[in-house]
Amino acid sequence: MAAARRLFVERGYHGTSVQAVAEATGRSDAAFYQYFRGKLEVFRIFFEELGVDLVDHFQRLPVLSAGPAGFVVFRAWLGELGAVLRRHSPVFAEWPLSTAEAALVDNASVDNPSEEYLQVLAASLPPRLARADTGGVDTRVLSVAVICIVEWTHIVSDARGKIARHPDEDEALHDALAGMIHRSFFPAPEPAPRSCGPTPRSPGPSPAGLVPRPDLAALARAAGVVGPTGTARTAGPSSGEVPAQRDAPLPPGLRRSVTGRGRSTVETITEAAVAAFEQRGLAGTSVNDIIARSGVAHGTFYRYWADRTAIFTTLAHRAAVHICDHFDALLAVGTVDELTRWLDDWLRIVERHGTVFHIWTCEILDNPPLWPLARAVRLHLEDVAARLPTPWPTATTPTAAPPTTAPPTTATPATATPATMTIVLWTVLTEFPYNAWLRHPVLTREQVLHCLTLLMARGVLGLRDATVTSGRAEHPRTGR
């Protein structure tokens, strides 16, 4: 068990084999199978330990309240949740198990083993949220969202931290997450003044300093997602189009330009690559895996790409155009109706590019050729985050109190940095829907849209003039 836990940490679930676990203990595969039917049975033991600890932690959540004191209580609980998830680092990236994965343990069709714990978590929340306004979002959805967002914020931060981590980053992230969720449950009674028009985009320095903005038109041309006018599209039906003009730049990752006759072949191969990457990640996928899924000859694959990293480079540049273009549109959102439409379009992008986003989170730092693109997109998103109209509270400073009194129960929030805001936004908008809806489908699309509307409307944009219901915005008086 100790060897399996260590290997799951180092290699992940899919990268760990029974043979590797046996070798790490100095035993044979046969010795392993005397006690377990496979690695998934071992993993499920760890998974159930996580479920028990999550139930215990959720049952210790106090009744939440509005105001600075309520924020401090929730922030402390959220920080402890982060510690619980870090203790279970071998399993939280795979939690919750999907029904198909769970069935492999019992060799039969079984209910999702996550569901037992999710129902207990959901049942524990109503009395603790009695004073909160959750906008009609189901407590089961909220429990999944909070766990998923906290766990994946850690993963995103850890990946970024390999090159640029700050010592107090966990604290700042927990502050930002707690502030976003607490504001979503306890929106301010008075609506904040807000313009519905697009936010001006000055070419000068952003609040975070001089930020080089990526050339979206150039990225779009290179990635093959340009329209007839040469402007980038956000969620068009044919994101794989590659320009065939002789003077067009060679799309990133490709060895040659793609003519009209070759487009269907290229799309077949890229779709097969996405399916293979979804199952095994970039590191665990071979060119042979992609070829087997696509049904093309080896020579056909190598006509267009040199290796698996090259084809992922093509996919990553396509996704980058959609990320930057759609986040720019977030600056023009001024009402909950507009936000819901923005999120609905965004979920279509996640459905198409979610696997690429996920690998970007987990593996891009192991692929130096993609670092320039990753840096350009990250700076672009930080610039967008810095221009959002509502400042996010983060690191809390206790109010002054006499030395003889108990520890202060209120705090004065500071403002999150664009880097912190970007990590939170990336986690909320990409990893939460991808993991809870697409990768481990424990929530429906409508449930994810409903929850995202609540978190983004109140927690990020400060839109307090509407009630979020079933993924749509309703006027609080007319219900329309």
Residue 361 pLDDT: 87
What does the pLDDT average to over 363-390?
A: 85
Backbone angles phi, psi at 166, to 5 degrees: -95, 145
CB 366 within 8 A of CB 283: yes
Angle separating helix axes 336-363 and 263-280, nearest 10 degrees: 80
Dihedral class, residue 26 (left if φ above 0, else alpha if ψ from -120 to 50, else beta):
left
Percentage with pLDDT > 90 across the chain: 43
Average of per-residue pLDDT values in the chain: 78
User: Using 50, 70 and 90 to split pLDDT, how confident is the model at 134?
Assistant: very high
- Residue 38 and residue 105: Cα distance in Å, rounded? 8
Residue 86 pLDDT: 84
User: Using 50, 70 and 90 to split pLDDT, how confident is the model at 414?
Assistant: low
Q: Does position 246 have pLDDT exceeding 70, yes or no?
A: no
| Cα within 13 Å of Cα(296), Cβ side | 22
Residue 421 pLDDT: 92
Q: Does position 293 have pLDDT exceeding 70, yes or no?
A: yes
pLDDT in tens, 313-355: 999 999 998 999 999 999 999 999 999 999 999 999 999 999 9
Residue 397 pLDDT: 37
What does the pLDDT average to over 75-101?
A: 74
- Report the DSSP beta bridge partners of residue 398: 411
Dihedral class, residue 470 (left if φ above 0, else alpha if ψ from -120 to 50, else beta):
left
Residue 392 pLDDT: 58
Residue 160 pLDDT: 65
User: Using 50, 70 and 90 to split pLDDT, how confident is the model at 189?
Assistant: low
Backbone angles phi, psi at 324, to 5 degrees: -65, -45
Greater model confidence, 390 or 200: 390
Residue 166 pLDDT: 58
